[in-house]
Structure 1
Amino acid sequence: MRHLRTTIGGERFTFDSLNQVMACATPLRSGDQLAGIAAESAAQRVAAQAVLADLPLTHFLTEALVPYESDEVTRLILDSHDTAAFAPVQHMTTGQFRDWLLSEEATTEVLAALAPGLTPEMVAATSKLMRNRDLIAVARKIRVTTAFRNTQGLPGRIGSRLQPNHPSDDMQGIAASIVDGLMYGVGDAVIGINPATDSIPNAIALMEMLDEIRLSYDMPVQSCILTHVTNAIEIMDRGAPVDLVFQSIAGTQAANTGFGVDLAVLDEAHEAARALDRGTVGDNVMYFETGQGAALSADAHHGVDQQTLEVRAYAVARRYRPLLVNTVVGFIGPEYLYDGKQIIRAGLEDHFCGKMLGLPMGVDVCYTNHAEADQDDMDVLMTLLADAGATFLIAVPGADDIMLNYQSLAYHDIAYLRESFGLRAAPEFEAWLEGIGLIDGGRLVEGNAPPKALAKMTGDAA
């Protein structure tokens, strides 16, 4: 192993492993402090960043942060590495790569071709050397387009997940939330429900309701009940109308085991969903959620910092060409991201890293009520993400998820972002909204009451 040491201000710093360098180079966050791996001082953090900047990108192909022999995520990362795609940057150090990403040479087309040649560790290391504005500047150059019943990730567009959760899965209450969201032009990325009761019969009932609404109103949208992937496999076997298969994933095999999944199960679900052939404009059928701190909360972090493990989860997602991936950035709690500053930084890191690896990256801009954060912090993050070219964001009625009991974005926040940045919904969904009189020229029609077609939706769900 190469010597991982440097001198800062006359003080000499030595690091025992690449894991330690990565952890100490990470901007401060409470999860790494909880794990006992964070830098002990600002000087040590700067020293670790200096070591990281001089480290060749090729080093990440020779020293695994999580052992190859015992971790299938590590094996996936290294065995699927595209050496031809990596060739244009293989001579660079991490610091040189960071500078190159900010140059005019790193165009949208160049970055798209490069993505298969990058490992999560390379991308995570680079992000640790970047300011927030750097993360935004590079991410906005990257475009990842996916499709199912509409197209996500096109230039000048930002998608949205309509999240009509209900504490008792009441069909009429869910339908009312859907109408509310559609009035703000929300729902093109997915209408996705976290069921209060995660049982197969309940999930099927919710799926059938959403599919009936879609068919009744000829909506070019995809739906998803966020049930466990093994439930989704059983539900598909029963012939229920599954659009997208959902699963939470993490960056180590042990953490995924804690979620009750492995690559074999995800392979099975992906194959089954594709076989249904329910998409109309594309065949991207998977929806993944992630979040910094998942591996640590499962005691499955292997001494690796939470941000790097988050990016390793994106390697799992990339295997399945998903329609959507989002980091639920502040959901796990202040033990992992303590305050608004840490949540904002993590959201920009996750978005940048996901797009660098070729993923259609979205963010649930959110926080728990016991975190040192508030809605002003979420306003800042959602605005920065819109500037950074996020594929989609999540919105709930009134920014308050009354089932999961956390704070997110509201439907009108999506309207604000589209109005402020000149962004629009997916083209197929936008055409539908225009057809029922909710938008005109890409802008919401002010003071409009729900069209009769939508007003009767709550009665249909009764």
Structure 2
Amino acid sequence: MSYKCDFAGERHVFDTLAAVMACATPARSGDALAGLAAQSAAERVAARAVLADLPLRHFLDHVLVPYESDEVTRLIIDGHDAAAFAPIAHMTVGDLRDWLLRTETDASALAAVAPGLTPEMVAAVSKLMRNQDLIAVARKVRVITAFRNTIGLEGRLSTRLQPNHPTDDPRGVAAAVLDGLLHGVGDAVIGINPATDSVPGASRLIHMLDDLRERYAIPTQTCVLTHVTNAIAIMARGAPVDLVFQSIAGSEAANRGFGIDLAVLREAHEAALALGRGTVGRNVMYFETGQGSALSANAHHGVDQQTMETRAYAVARAFDPLLVNTVVGFIGPEYLYDGKEIIRAALEDHFCGKLLGLPMGCDACYTNHAEADQDDMDTLMTVLTVAGCTFLICVPGNDDVMLSYQSLSYHDALALRATLGVRGAPEFEAWLDEMGLLDAQGGIRALTDGAETLVRRLGDASLAA
């Protein structure tokens, strides 16, 4: 089936639905690399005109990745909630955009239709939206999850404390954790990317984090971002696993490149639930995604990278996760070339994930060979917070010394709280107050005020040295 549009005195023909989706996407380097991008601004506008007039039902009848050979497509189609879809079933993609932007379309209305939306529908409507549209709709969506604290409440912005170390040295990790806690960071999760991905190494770090958390009764969750199969083995050995982590993608082939399938994710999910370690909730999964992952694995099926990214969210929502985040600029400039592309992609990912009912966060980041800098990340962290982002990732001094990329710092979280008035998870905030870390206005107390006392309370003298 082909799709046609006359625009500016020229007829544009798109041979497939995937071609319409790709050509309607804002320009980005990954789609150009894959040979999928629009060849001109006129072609992009024509594709958007076609897309705006497509009925939402069209995406149920014309799948982008074959149903017979892809378990992610089967998950999307077989799990589609027809009853939730019914109120919007008569709409086109353009109609959906208009409905999303209406004032009367509130959080409850968006939550009601979420199970009836497929990733392809959501990706399609995002391609018709300006950045301010993505922000306006996403900030209306409320997705609340819980484990040892409650994440996603209105007016709240949680943070992941990421204390990575190039040799997984426990003392170095503990020092970075202490630094983050003193800045009020870590309510989403204290999560380490291990330098070496092994069961013994991850187990040592898991025990260290859990000992620290228990010693000071910190109402948060910990995670070592080891492969899901390692997590299963670690749980079988009785280690104190809070969250199970895994990177996921939008096709069966791309997930196979990560060494996973839906069956192994189900096994891990069930094992983590059986541990019963949550105190205020039972959301036990943590997923990371990123535009370009399917393309980099040559597993994108000729579909643009943003649509493939949104399909990954179907995988995530099948497991009721505590946290999902797009590591938006991590893969590199081959997929998102500069600050403008990174910012746009982050807003798309956040919008699409939340519209599908996920607790979306973001690693506002870039690699050192991208045409981006920390000013771009300042802009990104601000617009994401305005858009109601669930959580952001923070590392010591903006620089992840193990993964060798740039992200947000602990101080950036303080700046957002002071400027935009957002607060951490309520249980974590109460703990900060108990530890004497909150000032009279509810902000983080300056480290010059009794810092030595706080360090002695939160860590051994050896860690503070």
After TM superposition, is the score higher than 0.5?
A: yes
2:419 counterpart residue number: 420
Report % sequence identity.
71
1:80 counterpart residue number: 79
Conserved? CA contact 1:172–1:458, under 8 Å: no
Note the C-alpha offset of 1:442.
2.1
Conserved? CA contact 1:351–1:363, under 8 Å: yes
Q: How far apart, CA to CA, are the structure 1 residues paired with 2:17 and 2:66?
A: 13
Q: How far apart, CA to CA, are the structure 2 residues paired with 1:398 and 1:117?
A: 42
Q: How far apart, CA to CA, are the structure 1 residues paired with 2:418 and 2:457?
A: 23
Render the CA deviation track for 1:43-63: whole Å, top value 9, x for unaligned. 000000000000000100000
> SS state of the match for residue 286, structure 2?
strand
1:60 counterpart residue number: 59
Q: How far apart, CA to CA, are the structure 2 residues paired with 1:458 and 1:197?
A: 28
Q: How far apart, CA to CA, are the structure 1 residues paired with 2:435 and 2:248?
A: 38
2:195 counterpart residue number: 196
Q: Which amino acid aligns with 2:230?
A: N
Q: How far apart, CA to CA, are the structure 2 residues paired with 1:452 and 1:122?
A: 50
Conserved? CA contact 2:122–2:352, under 8 Å: yes
Note the C-alpha offset of 1:456.
2.7
1:429 counterpart residue number: 428
Render the CA deviation track for 1:400-446: whole Å, top value 9, x for unaligned. 00000000000010111111111100000000000010013421112
Q: How far apart, CA to CA, are the structure 2 residues paired with 1:303 and 1:431?
A: 49
> SS state of the match for residue 227, structure 1?
coil
Conserved? CA contact 1:252–1:295, under 8 Å: yes
> SS state of the match for residue 122, structure 2?
helix
Render the CA deviation track for 1:152-193: whole Å, top value 9, x for unaligned. 000010000000000011111111101111111100000000
Conserved? CA contact 1:68–1:75, under 8 Å: yes
Q: How far apart, CA to CA, are the structure 2 residues paired with 1:454 and 1:404?
A: 30
Conserved? CA contact 1:364–1:393, under 8 Å: yes
Which TM-score applies when normalising by structure 2? 0.98
2:444 counterpart residue number: 444
Structure 1 stretches of 4+ with a deviation exceeding 3 A read: 452-455, 457-462
1:175 counterpart residue number: 174
**How many residues are treated as equivalent by the alignment?**
461
> SS state of the match for residue 348, structure 1?
helix
2:462 counterpart residue number: 459
Q: How far apart, CA to CA, are the structure 2 residues paired with 1:415 and 1:219?
A: 19
Q: 1:157 to 1:375 in 2, by over 3 A?
A: same
Conserved? CA contact 2:216–2:458, under 8 Å: no
Q: How far apart, CA to CA, are the structure 2 residues paired with 1:436 and 1:206?
A: 24
Conserved? CA contact 2:167–2:195, under 8 Å: yes
1:244 counterpart residue number: 243
Note the C-alpha offset of 1:4.
1.1
1:348 counterpart residue number: 347
Conserved? CA contact 1:163–1:191, under 8 Å: yes
1:232 counterpart residue number: 231
Q: How far apart, CA to CA, are the structure 1 residues paired with 2:347 and 2:180?
A: 25
Conserved? CA contact 2:178–2:459, under 8 Å: no
Conserved? CA contact 1:250–1:309, under 8 Å: yes
Render the CA deviation track for 1:91-129: whole Å, top value 9, x for unaligned. 010011101100013111100111100000000000000
Q: How far apart, CA to CA, are the structure 1 residues paired with 2:410 and 2:7?
A: 48
Conserved? CA contact 2:175–2:463, under 8 Å: no
Q: How far apart, CA to CA, are the structure 2 residues paired with 1:31 and 1:4?
A: 23
**Is 1:46 aligned to 2:60, yes or no?**
no
Conserved? CA contact 2:97–2:129, under 8 Å: yes
Q: How far apart, CA to CA, are the structure 2 residues paired with 1:400 and 1:206?
A: 21
Q: Which amino acid aligns with 2:89?
A: Q
Q: How far apart, CA to CA, are the structure 2 residues paired with 1:164 and 1:417?
A: 20
Conserved? CA contact 2:455–2:464, under 8 Å: no
Q: Which range moved further: 422-431 or 434-443? A: 434-443
> SS state of the match for residue 12, structure 1?
strand
Structure 1: gaps spanning 5 or more residues: none
Q: Output aligned runs, 1:60-139, within 5 Å.
A: 60-139=59-138
Note the C-alpha offset of 1:288.
0.1
Conserved? CA contact 1:175–1:457, under 8 Å: no
Q: 1:167 to 1:69 in 2, by over 3 A?
A: same
> SS state of the match for residue 57, structure 2?
helix
Note the C-alpha offset of 1:10.
0.9
Structure 2: gaps spanning 5 or more residues: none
Note the C-alpha offset of 1:459.
3.5
Q: Which amino acid aligns with 2:69?
A: S
Q: How far apart, CA to CA, are the structure 1 residues paired with 2:456 and 2:65?
A: 54
Q: 1:310 to 1:172 in 2, by over 3 A?
A: same
